[in-house]
Structure 1
Amino acid sequence: MCGRFARTTPPQRFAEMTQAQCDLDDLPPRYNILPGQPVLACRISADGVRELALLRWPYIPPFEKQPKTRYSTINAKAETLTSSRLWRFPFQHFRCLIAADGFYEPRDTGEKRKPQYYFHRQDGQPFFMAGLWGRWEPPEGGEGFDSCAIVTTEPNSVVGEIHPRMPAILLAAAWGQWLDPEAKPGQLQSLLQPVSGEGWEGFHVGYYTRLDASKVIEPWEAT
């Protein structure tokens, strides 16, 4: 499961990485992105070009009558994307890359408040997590929105010391294929293997503290 992550790199940098259009104003860094907040993602637009967009997280299935869901849609398990009735359609048609600089995973100690660990690249470079997205429209008319889920897979050697799942992180060579609307699900499953643990690190962090007046979540104190 990936229920919190960070994006501190400006959107323009992610646009350069993917050669995508970016009409977004500069976004403040977010150190602790939670479900219910917008996330930055790269996808193929209706015009067939790469674009950066803000998507709501978690994913709201189009069949829901209200902008909420009874399902757990923060994450989508890589192993069940082709068999799940919930994920089969977005996996076939609506894939995206979710921009990040790091992500959090909890260690299960049997306590109510689980210690959190932050994982990121040792070289400090940003990366993309595999994502699925879709459009939700009110059944009686009105304004809809786009939402997304993070695809998860088995952990690598670093994350596996703490948690049994991690985001499916895609290397640059896989971005084009993941976004390609003509790509077949069978070709895409192989992209969702755990990223190598080499060059990654994690460290223990404190608990979430507060929101400041600008709604930017402060970094967790390292302990």
Structure 2
Amino acid sequence: MRRTSMVAGLVVAGTCVAGPALAVDASEVSRKLSFSEEDATAGLDVGAGLGGFTGDLGDETGVGGLFNITANAQPWKYIGVEVGYEGQNIPIDDARVLGGNNIFRNNGTFMGQLGPIVDHKWHPFVGLGVGLSYLHVSSGAEDVYNNDWQTEVPLAAGIEYRLGHLSAGVRATYRIVGGEGLFEVPGTTDDAKGSLFNGNVTVGGRF
């Protein structure tokens, strides 16, 4: 009985000590996550990176460089939107095609973002959107590869740091693609399937 009373007393004492500390921590977290007028910004980013196809599409192609330009806005506390263009040059690594040929990808994407503005500087986020790409193959690959329209569902994750009106960030984007008619799997008449994975860094301004 005495031991139970001692334990109960320690729990009560610990709660009394920890209570104010938890209140301070909660207050600090709330302050860092508070949304102000300065967070409700619009901006423009430019980026560069690398990436390529996965699955059957990736078996016959390589990793290619990309660049993008994106207009974005954060009109709500945890929700932002962006619309952008991305261009990418993906090398073809296929025994049926002479070396030096490429797939030129031109993409437009609209994406919604979800994530807080922490301490008015850090912006971790995840994103979901829709996109459409036109894939244009170089002339040396036209006997095996086709120009193709490709629908995309991009899933993104990244983090951005804001310093005044400037910003810099990194992100990774996995794109579920559909409507592939780019080329057939070697030795079959099946259209090659796969997805697209890209990573890039961005710099930009906020207004």
Q: With structure 1 as the length reference, what TM-score do the two structures score? A: 0.26
Highest Rg: 1 or 2?
2
TM-score by length of 2: 0.27
Structure with bigger RCO (C-alpha 8 Å, 6+ apart): 1
Bigger share in strand: 2
